Structure 1
Amino acid sequence: MDDRHAGVSAQAEDALSVLAALVADDLEACNRVIVARMDSPVELIPRLAAHLVAAGGKRLRPMLTLAAARLAGYRGQRHVNLAACVEFIHTATLLHDDVVDESQLRRGLASANAVFGNKASVLVGDFLFSRSFELMVEDGSLAVLGILSSASSTIAEGEVLQLVTQNDLGTDEARYLEVIRCKTAALFAAATRIGAVVAERDLEDELALEAYGLNLGIAFQVVDDVLDYAAEQERLGKTVGDDFREGKVTLPVLLAYAAGDEEERGFWRRTIEAQEQREDDLATAMRLMARHGTLAESVRRAEAYGDRARAALARFPDGAERRALLGIVDFCIARVR
């Protein structure tokens, strides 16, 4: 990484630190809720939960809920439990995803399924989903319940859609965007929208915060898909090239396939569709992406969604919360630089 890129990455990490400091007290309360609700007399559940906590995680989604609520003028405590609810939904989906993808690493450490097995991971994921719905019901708002339950079902639809489109180079960009809108951006959108709901803001403010989260989530996932071909394993927190080896049809692959000649398209059909991969195929895929500039183009697409996320906050007054949420857009995109 050159000095310019190092500076960009440092600024991005600073943006995350600014957000964490801004919501520090609320986040600490949220973490207490998470730890308390992960407890269970069934001994394997807190053991696996402790493994997840030890693996770290930025708590980005719950921090978005906490900051969005404060941006909307909320000064109560409902957002704390709802932020924990958002994190439970996210963690449950990670547990299930790692089983589906047969992932061995999560955040640089052995994944839960690698340590405890697939059955335990799926069942504890179900437990966390159940905990999230308990928190929704305790909150007592049908509007919140509707937003978060809808997001949960949308995430599941996105994962199934990704499974259907896997190994299919006939997938177009619109279909790809639908996958990431469902599987990633829907929870970002719900996490921020409920901030306006608890603050009892009007529908326009709700939809503005939802638009911020949705576009932020799309940018976040596009960058994640780039990182699978552009990051070092230590930075990525999972094995580089996992998407390629699994035949996932992501934006960098779609752009390279569209730009390639017939020989190059044959390479992509063999490796992605037929799943006939050789030891040096990942390096070849990266060379083809570099030849056609598909990683840079994917980042440009992410930046466009980042611009939409920033624009969605224009209706809110300037202040620490708004500036922190704008900074998170930079954080999400600069992870690839």
Structure 2
Amino acid sequence: MSASVHPLVPGRVPSLDPMIQLVAADLNHVNAVILDRMQSEVALIPELAGHLIVGGGKRMRPMLTLACARLLDYGGARHHKLAAAVEFIHTATLLHDDVVDGSGLRRGRRTANIIWGNPASVLVGDFLFSRSFELMVEDGSLKVLKILSRASSVIAEGEVNQLTAQRQIETDEDHYLEIIAAKTAALFAAACRIAAVVAERDEATEEALDAYGRNLGVAFQLVDDAIDYASDAATMGKGVGDDFRDGKVTLPVILAYARGTDADRAFWREAVGGRRTTDEDLAHATRLLRGCGALDDTLERARHYGQRAIDALGPFPTGRAKSALVEAVQFAIQRAY
């Protein structure tokens, strides 16, 4: 997708390894902050939070903060607490999402709500949100506080928007993109943008990193929505077909419904309405998605947003940090193949 920009070694699969290596020392500091700030005298809080935070997540969002800071040659340490705040916001939303969706698997493990129940998951999510704001306040920058607090509210709006669109087969592509721009891309964008603030760069630099993160976030979610139908639980780290059974109208479904025969559209109405949710129904849905090109076209759109993310890095100098950020985009797309 970007042969002209930092091409990969032929035959090598894109990975997050260059970014992980780039930010390894900084990430150790971030992890120390995370482990310290998830502690509480109430034993259930670190136990439940640790189940998810220490449970194999890639730390992609905080790594983006760290990598963007490296891109700008920032030499301070403010971004360590802020990257931890980003991870706490992300983890809190996952805890809440799993309750809302009734999910049973997350990163290949049983979800916190299945183990400890919905009330505990919601309340520990609230605790982590609060911790994230403590970390923002400690940083002392009103601009950082504005960016991350705004992202938090936009994520919540996106989740509510998605909830109201659930089981609504008439949801269109614009509405769907509005949902994922809020619920997924907003935190990617904020995680990248705050690096420019702590590095005291100009508004144009902020906007460039925001555009990188926002487009990467949309691409990331589009790929997730495609592989919900085209992968397995080991790859996804969650139940296969969760979106299908939950009646989520994602882009593959929107495209398939628009392109389908009368019989196909009748099936989608029943499936999204919750009346066709068996394994056989999921297999039929996947055949329809493949047959009309909905999965391929969803991934093509992901590549489009991925290229926009890479293009946003154009003003920055070539080097290890930029290469790692480009490959992170390529990794996000490649997960589907």
Q: What range is the shorter-chain TM-score in?
A: over 0.9
Q: What is aligned with 1:40?
A: 40
Separation in 2, partners of 1:279, 1:198: 49
Q: Which amino acid aligns with 1:335?
A: R
* Cα displacement (A) at 1:53: 3.5
* Cα displacement (A) at 1:279: 4.2
Q: Which amino acid aligns with 1:108?
A: G
* Cα displacement (A) at 1:54: 3.9
Separation in 1, partners of 2:264, 2:242: 20
Separation in 2, partners of 1:333, 1:205: 25
Equivalent residue runs for 1:200-215 within 5 Å: 200-215=200-215
Separation in 1, partners of 2:290, 2:121: 37
Separation in 2, partners of 1:160, 1:87: 21
Equivalent residue runs for 1:156-305 within 5 Å: 156-305=156-305
TM-score, normalising length from structure 1? 0.96
Identity %: 60
Separation in 2, partners of 1:258, 1:76: 51
Question: Judging changes above 3 Å, is the alpha-carbon distance between structure 1 residues 56 and 277 closer, same or farther for their aligned structure 2 residues?
Answer: closer
Residue 9 of structure 1 contacts residue 335 of structure 1 at CA under 8 Å; is this kept in 2? no
* Cα displacement (A) at 1:293: 1.1
Q: Which amino acid aligns with 2:31?
A: N
1:255-292, CA deviations, whole angstroms, 9 ceiling, x for partnerless residues?
Answer: 10011011100000011035443441001001101110
Counterpart check, 1:133 vs 2:99: no
Q: Which amino acid aligns with 1:11?
A: V
Q: What is aligned with 1:30?
A: 30
Q: What is aligned with 1:4?
A: none
Residue 30 of structure 1 contacts residue 80 of structure 1 at CA under 8 Å; is this kept in 2? yes
Q: Which amino acid aligns with 1:320?
A: R
- The alignment partner of 1:181 has SS state of helix
Q: Which amino acid aligns with 1:194?
A: I
Aligned length: 329
Q: Which amino acid aligns with 2:188?
A: F
- The alignment partner of 2:336 has SS state of coil
Separation in 2, partners of 1:19, 1:279: 38
Question: Judging changes above 3 Å, is the alpha-carbon distance between structure 1 residues 143 and 64 closer, same or farther for their aligned structure 2 residues?
Answer: same
- The alignment partner of 2:83 has SS state of helix
Question: Judging changes above 3 Å, is the alpha-carbon distance between structure 1 residues 284 and 204 closer, same or farther for their aligned structure 2 residues?
Answer: same
Query: Can you give the 5+ residue segments of structure 1 that lack an aligned partner in the other structure?
Result: 1-6
* Cα displacement (A) at 1:70: 1.5
Residue 212 of structure 1 contacts residue 312 of structure 1 at CA under 8 Å; is this kept in 2? yes
Bigger share in helix: 1
Moved more, 145-154 or 43-52: 43-52
* Cα displacement (A) at 1:191: 0.2
Equivalent residue runs for 1:45-124 within 5 Å: 45-124=45-124
Counterpart check, 1:11 vs 2:13: yes
Separation in 2, partners of 1:292, 1:65: 39
Separation in 2, partners of 1:8, 1:109: 34
Residue 93 of structure 1 contacts residue 125 of structure 1 at CA under 8 Å; is this kept in 2? yes
Q: Which amino acid aligns with 1:314?
A: G
- The alignment partner of 1:94 has SS state of helix
Moved more, 265-274 or 203-212: 265-274
- The alignment partner of 1:316 has SS state of coil
Separation in 1, partners of 2:196, 2:183: 22
Separation in 2, partners of 1:26, 1:61: 13
